[in-house]
Homo-oligomer: A and B are copies of this chain.
Amino acid sequence: MRANRAASIILAVSFQTLQSPLCFLQSTLSDFRLPDWLQQYQCWLEKEGQDISDHTDRVGAPPLGMFDLSGTRVDEILYSPEYWRMLKHGYQAGLIWRVCEENAVFPAALGIYVTSFYDPGLACPYTVSLSTLVPLSKYGDAELKERFLPRLLQKDEAVWQGATWMTEIKGGSDLGATVETMARPAGTQWLLTGDKYFASNAGANLAVVAARPEGGARNVRGLALFLVPRYGRNGQLNYSIRRLKDKIATHSVPTGEVELRDSEAWLLGRAEDGIYLILEVLNVSRVANSMGSVGLAQRAMADAAAFAQGRVVFGKPLIEQPLMRRQFEDRLRQLQAASKLAWKAVVLLNEVWQERPPYSDRYHLFRLVAHLAKYWTAEVAVQTAKWAMEVHGGMGTLHEYRAERWLREAMILAIWEGPAHRQILDGLEVMERKHAHRLLFQSLAATVDASSLQQMEARVEQHLALPREEKEAGAEALFTDLARFTADALLQAEE
């Protein structure tokens, strides 16, 4: 019976629906009401943004104009002018300012979904701008908010972009050990010195930066979160971009190595809460990444469907071959389930994003779902994109067409904000220490039959009772099954 219901959904979500991110969301999320601005935003991307995105991907990492002709360091990122037009378009449409105006994360989450269908890399500037806006508005004092908030919320071209710079050369998982950027107090401000190795949206007007106040412990407790503007109060560059990185994808966001040298900064919140603020920032990004991954997976599948409809093999369209058709159906259902999981993370974030430590149980549930969603949606994006390339046959391996791009993009979505290994272990921790899985199962009780639920819960509890080594060693299968279970449960709730 489930199979039949799935089949009917698949018929409803026809391949036409696949071609539009908003149609897909409408057909998948029952509670989704489509705002006008978002519809217009998608139209613009379809008509203009997409071609700009193609060109930006093709050209690759932009050059960095380090010095002007007078010998002044300028660190200007040399994208095509139209890149900036495309980038600013999303800000003007309201991906960020609407979050404040509506006091809800939905505008950003939906905007990022739509953006990622056309350009997953472009979703990053919006994500990190959101991740900058949130801690500033929560933890900034009145003066700081007055100074910077209006800039991030401007509705015209002069809008400021945010950025979140944590990772240093020794790695991003174990920040407590690897962050070597030091902060020393200087009046009401701080001066930061250190190198950030993966600085997304390098060149942003305002970054939130993890650093260690002088004398701070050499672990995560010693870290604090700071605001660093691009230009100091003297009008000079407040940080340098050592170079832009030559990534395999997400060419629509400049990722750089950033050098802080006595860079002016403001402390956000209390230094001793630093690690909480840092994790809040990362959690926002993980949810955004989940929406982006699903948008990208939809795109890869949409392109594969279009190709398979046009390509004739043994007398009929490839898509009508039984094996190919089955693959489409299975993957479409998987995509719908993954969308529900990502959306669940969005809904939970929206509930808890204003919380401060100490957090409620609801926040811990959110954390678990965020880990599940980050992990699983990225996995779905990678596998869908890989399969979509194969559907294209040889054409899938050529830069001339789009298919190979989606796999490159997906691999980055799978890695940044922490790869599977990290999500699994952090998810494990929130189950062990906060019993977040119990909250999860409670929340699913209404929609899943009791025996399945009980079986899954028993399996999780049993696993958590294993000795540490064994528990970690075997966590992948558990986490994968839990993600799939949750996603399927959420999808069934609709059916």
Interface residues of A (CB under 8 A from B): 48, 51-52, 55, 58-59, 63, 65-67, 69-71, 78-82, 167, 169-174, 177, 197-198, 242-243, 245-249, 306-307, 310-315, 321-327, 382, 386, 389-401, 404, 407, 411-412, 414-416, 419-421, 424-425, 468-476
Contacts and interface: CB of A to CB of B under 8 A. Distances in A.
Contacts of A475: 323
Q: Give the number of times this chain occurs in the complex, counting copies.
A: 4
A247 B398 CA distance: 4
B81 A476 contact: no
Contacts of A169: 67, 71
A390 B414 contact: yes
Given A174-B313, A246-B399, A472 B394 contact: no
A407 B411 contact: yes
Nearest to A307: B69
Contacts of A424: 323
B415 A390 contact: yes
Contacts of A394: 167, 172, 197-198, 415-416
B310 A398 contact: no
Contacts of A414: 390
A322 B416 contact: no
A394 B166 CA distance: 12
Nearest to A169: B71
Contact of A397 (B63, B69, B247, B469): B247
8 nearest CB pairs, A to B: A322-B473, A322-B472, A71-B169, A326-B473, A82-B82, A390-B419, A55-B80, A246-B399
Contacts of A468: 322
Given A63-B246, A248-B399, A322-B470, 6 more contacts: A80-B82, A167-B394, A171-B393, A246-B398, A386-B386, A407-B411
A350 to B, nearest CB: 29
A415 B399 contact: no
5 contacts: A63-B400, A67-B400, A171-B393, A390-B414, A407-B411
A126 to B, nearest CB: 20
A66 B242 CA distance: 10
A142 to B, nearest CB: 36
Given A78-B58, A389-B415, A415-B389, A170 B397 contact: no
Given A399-B246, A473-B323, A393 B415 contact: yes
Contacts of A321: 421, 472
Contact of A474 (B167, B326, B393): B326
Contacts of A474: 326
A311 B170 CA distance: 8
B420 A390 contact: yes
Contact of A398 (B52, B245, B324, B420): B245
Contacts of A171: 71, 311, 313, 393
A81 B397 contact: no
